[in-house]
Amino acid sequence: MATFRILGSVEAWNGTQRLALGGPLQLRLFAFLVLHANRAVSSDELIDAIWQSERPGADNRLPQAISRLRKTLAPLDLAGKGALRTVAGGYLMKIEPEELDADVFEARVQDGQQALADGQPALALGRLTAGLALWRGPALAEVAFQDFARGEIRRLDERRWDARESRIEAELELGHHRAVVSELEAWLAERPDRERIAAQLMLALYRSGRQPAALETYQRTHAYLNSEFGLESGAALKALQARILAQDPSLMDGTSEPGGGGARAHKCRRSTGPGKPDQRAAPGSASALRLARVRGPRARG
């Protein structure tokens, strides 16, 4: 079975055999075609993306690069058509949804988040953990500094953080608060702008009998947002702080939201990238945290 991987290094596999994609130029060509899978890409698009400042002579080099890549991918031949095809308008990389790790990740995360919304945290935990297990490192590692890859890298990174937070949500609903404290502390140190992680850590600490540490987490997050961006903590985080101060007993059983309100009332700011808090509020899931998550199909091209 053909497998294409971009959640880490850029790879193509034929069953258990990893295909040798070649040097930097071949990797860039392959990655660009994967990111624009199942649609025709013109020669001009490829030359602009792959050669950039080296454009002189690229008109002659592109057919050679395509030929080498086609030979490399020959073991993935699909009914005699091949994975890389010449079509009207240019070239097309044929990839089925189950063949690309990023698409499989997205499907598992969506299934896991739906299970959370349906009140099935154990099922959600399994699906989210399986999705996150597909990551082998930073997405599109070899082409991380290429202009054509940056937008997709940011999108995938955001979805990874979102999936991590949803997985923790399932862990907390299952009563695993002590087990996730260290993980959340490390994540918040890496991304102090993510209020959902701060709220999850506050709740995990409080349920572990560490109320002062939970309140200190709030103060640290509040101070960071204020000093870095001139922002106040979001309403959800403030409400959770108030409930921890009041030692609200409902925080211990996971039956009500930290921010109060009905099953869809709790909202929290999220971040769209390092150091960029997003002021938009999104609906949460039906769980103890019900903090905002991002959903959406994979976009290509």
Whether 129 and 32 share a structural domain: no
Whether 93 and 105 share a structural domain: no
Answer yes or no: pTM beyond 0.75.
yes
Query: Structural domain tally of the chain?
Result: 2
Whether 239 and 116 share a structural domain: yes
Whether 155 and 264 share a structural domain: yes
What's the pLDDT score for residue 56? 62
- Its domain, for residue 32, covers 2-97
* Domain annotation covers residue 204: yes
Whether 175 and 258 share a structural domain: yes
- pLDDT tens for 65-84 read 999 999 999 998 665 577 99
* Domain annotation covers residue 300: no
- pLDDT tens for 212-260 read 999 999 999 999 999 999 999 999 999 999 999 999 999 987 543 443 3
CATH of the domain at 68: 1.10.10.10
Whether 145 and 34 share a structural domain: no
Whether 269 and 148 share a structural domain: yes
Is the distance from CB of 156 to CB of 135 less than 8 angstroms?
A: no
CA 125, 127, 133, 139 torsion: positive or negative? negative
pLDDT tier at 52, thresholds 50, 70, 90: confident
- pLDDT tens for 132-169 read 999 999 999 999 999 999 999 999 999 999 999 999 99
Whether 24 and 80 share a structural domain: yes
Whether 122 and 8 share a structural domain: no
CA 19, 22, 27, 32 torsion: positive or negative? negative
